[in-house]
Amino acid sequence: MIKIFHLAFVAMSILSFVGRVVLSEVNPDMLKQKVLKIAPHVIDTLLLLSGIALVFQGAWLSVEHGWIIGKIIGLLGYIGLGIMAMRNQGAARWLAFAGALACFAYIGMVAVAKDAWFFL
């Protein structure tokens, strides 16, 4: 059940991010609405909490489950590039956006493969 919630929050998180980046380009004033400022933080917090719950439920805290570290590093990249995508304009925004989406894809692939080095 937790996995279903986690996957739902994953979908909401990426849709929220893409929507906010597009809005920042076409109608930045709309991003000043309170719901658009708060909702992404609530969604991402619930995503993170459900992910932590899955780690404990799956007993993935041992050294043999190093793929969790790969997901955390990917998450930090996603957050950093996401911030850059929201704050920059022009080509810098779209490069950061593409990088954030690449980090998001990496996190998903690691989650499926259970291997941080799946591409080797």
- Indicate whether 6 pLDDT > 80: yes
| Calpha distance 7→43 (Å, rounded) | 12
* Contacts by 58-66, CB closer than 8 A, 24 or more apart: 65/114, 66/116
DSSP type of residue 62 = S
Q: What is the mean pLDDT of the chain?
A: 93
Q: Which pLDDT score, from 0 to 100, does residue 32 have?
A: 93
Whole-angstrom distance between the N-terminal and C-terminal Cα of the chain? 32
Q: With 90 as the cut, is the pLDDT of residue 23 above it?
A: yes
Average pLDDT over residues 36-56: 93
User: What is the reported pLDDT for 63?
Assistant: 67
Say yes or no to pLDDT of 61 above 90: no
